[in-house]
Amino acid sequence: MAQTTVSTTSVTAGVDTGQDYRRPLAMVTTLFFMWGFLTSLNDILIPHLKSVFDLNYAKAMLIQFAFFTSYFVFSLPSGKLIDAVGYKRAMVAGLFTMGFGALLFIPAASVPSFPFFLTALIVLAAGMTILQVSANPYVAILGPEKTAASRLNLAQAFNSLGTTIGPKLGGLLILSSAPLAVEVMRQMSAPDLQAYRIHEASSVKVPYLVFALALMTLGVAIALFKLPRIASVEQRDGVVHDSIWRHSHLILGALGIFVYVGAEVSIGSFLVNYFSQPDIGNISEKVASGLVSFYWGGAMVGRFIGSALQQKISPNKILGVAALMAAILVAASMLTLGHVAMWTIIAVGLFNSVMFPTIFTLAIEGLGPLTGDGSGLLVAAIVGGAIIPEIQGVIADRIGIHHAFFLPILCYFYIAFYAFVGSRRKTAVRTA
């Protein structure tokens, strides 16, 4: 079995020490807002770069593939970084890495180059991975275990505030002009086409420069702020004779994170193009981008509600009901047209709300000193946001966007299974 060292000082994970953690939690919550805001901008980049570079759906989904594959690649190194420097310095490193990734959008737009854009997204996501691996367990552990799900739902509500504002603001700044029809672009001469692409791609320069400056400023603020240390990671005095692979609720929870992120990103990534369809919304991409905010806004509202409900109702029951409702709404959108199809898919965001924080807290529950390693595994599972949208993109190219949404339905069925069956703990951490 793997041996994991564990600390015994500072803040004891999951124990109510009576300390007031509102200020550090408020500071860390700003990180949730920032990565939510920037993640949701991918939903704007997809239709924008799709039109600029004349991409099919499968190629456009490489944006999400590159972004979310980074979680898988960088999650374990992020855990090692936290082991080496602690939560606070890891958060600062994550913010500056994200800032550098945002700056790379400027030369990517100047070329312009789709592979360069993907590179910038990978760097941005690498920094975001460090934040996810550190901030999610930090919020879950900093206080009593019984309110961990409620606490993380509340923090994730501000993540959803970022995802709500992101598409609306991104649509106004990035989708500033109507794209040319594909047929017109294909008839343009090479110099004219290049000039058009440079002009259209340049709309990302100012927004991402501002984002880079904001991220680096926040990094300085976190560096100067005094955050409590987490005992189970910050110091290493004892040894635990155990492995994360012995805990089925964690392993099944990682699969739950995989399919949840895949489903949420699949839906969000296609909304602008979906709403633009003649038999669905028949609206422009710019108008559609504003409606995407309602999808993410539903997640924000749902997380505030979920945070309150989980004070009184078992988190796994709330998770199971939410998953079944999401599956029903996606099916309803597939079976209808017009505004009914549009608003039923938007409503899915309300029920997506509690899924990530609730799966996360159920999965790390009872892990004790293995919590950091478990968090790394769960964040690695975010790679579902790379794989499932790409599969749905291939399906959409063959059968159309409307009926490609059957894939998220299967994801929600698994989440319901995890809520009612797979989240039950069967083993306890064994210490020396």
Q: What is d(CA 312, CA 150) in angstroms, rounded to the nearest whole number?
A: 10
The pair of three-digit structure tokens given for residue 397, joined into one six-digit string:
């190219």
Neighbours of 322 (CB within 10 A): 24
The whole-angstrom distance between residue 109's C-alpha and the CA centroid of its chain comes to 24
β-bridge mates for residue 431, sequence order: 240
pLDDT of residue 182: 56
pLDDT of residue 9: 31
- Answer left, alpha or beta for residue 223, where phi above 0 means left and psi between -120 and 50 means alpha: alpha
Residue 349, C-beta contacts closer than 8 angstroms, at least 6 positions apart: 294, 295, 296, 297, 298, 299, 302
- Asked whether the CA dihedral 282, 284, 285, 290 is positive or negative, the reply is negative
pLDDT of residue 11: 44
Contact yes or no for 353/306 (Cβ under 8 A): yes
Structural domain count of the chain: 1
pLDDT of residue 171: 77
Convert the chain into a string of H (helix), E (strand) and C (coil): CCEEEECCCCECCCCCCCCCCHHHHHHHHHHHHHHHHHHHCHHHHHHHHHHHCCCCHHHHCHHHHHHHHHHHHHHHHHHHHHHHHHHHHHHHHHHHHHHHHHHCHHHHHHCCCHHHHHHHHHHHHHHHHHHHHHHHHHHHHCCCHHHHHHHHHHHHHHHHHHHHHHHHHHHHHHCCCCCCCHHHHHHCCHHHHHHHHHHHHHHHHHHHHHHHHHHHHHHHHHHHCCCCCEHHHHCCCEEEECCHHHCHHHHHHHHHHHHHHHHHHHHHHHHHHHHCCCCCCCCCHHHHHHHHHHHHHHHHHHHHHHHHHCCCCCHHHHHHHHHHHHHHHHHHHHCCCHHHHHHHHHHHHHHHCCHHHHHHHHHHCCCHHHHHHHHHHHHHHHHHHHHHHHHHHHHHHHHCHHHHCHHHHHHHHHHHHHHHHHCCCCCCCCEC
Residue 78 lies in a domain: yes
Token pair 């069967």: residue: 426
Residue 301, C-beta contacts closer than 8 angstroms, at least 6 positions apart: 350, 353
- Residue range 201-231, pLDDT digits in tens: 788 888 899 999 999 999 999 888 887 776 5
What CA–CA distances, in Å, run from 116 to 66, 207, 225?
11, 17, 35
Contact yes or no for 214/68 (Cβ under 8 A): no
Residue 432 lies in a domain: no
CATH number at residue 281: 1.20.1250.20
Residue 283 lies in a domain: yes
Residue 10 lies in a domain: yes
- Taking the complete model, does pTM exceed 0.75, yes or no? no
Contact yes or no for 161/153 (Cβ under 8 A): no
Range of the domain at 361: 3-422
Residue 92 lies in a domain: yes
pLDDT of residue 120: 94
Residue 429 lies in a domain: no
pLDDT of residue 185: 61
- Residue range 269-303, pLDDT digits in tens: 888 888 888 888 788 877 887 787 788 788 888 88
With a cut of 50, which residues of the chain have pLDDT below it?
Answer: 1-18, 233-237, 431
Burial (0-12, 13-18, 19+ Cβ within 10 Å), 258: buried
Residue 316 lies in a domain: yes
pLDDT of residue 348: 93
Q: What is d(CA 253, CA 360) in angstroms, rounded to the nearest whole number?
A: 7
Q: What is d(CA 399, CA 422) in angstroms, rounded to the nearest whole number?
A: 33
Q: What is d(CA 311, CA 43) in angstroms, rounded to the nearest whole number?
A: 33
Residue 397 lies in a domain: yes
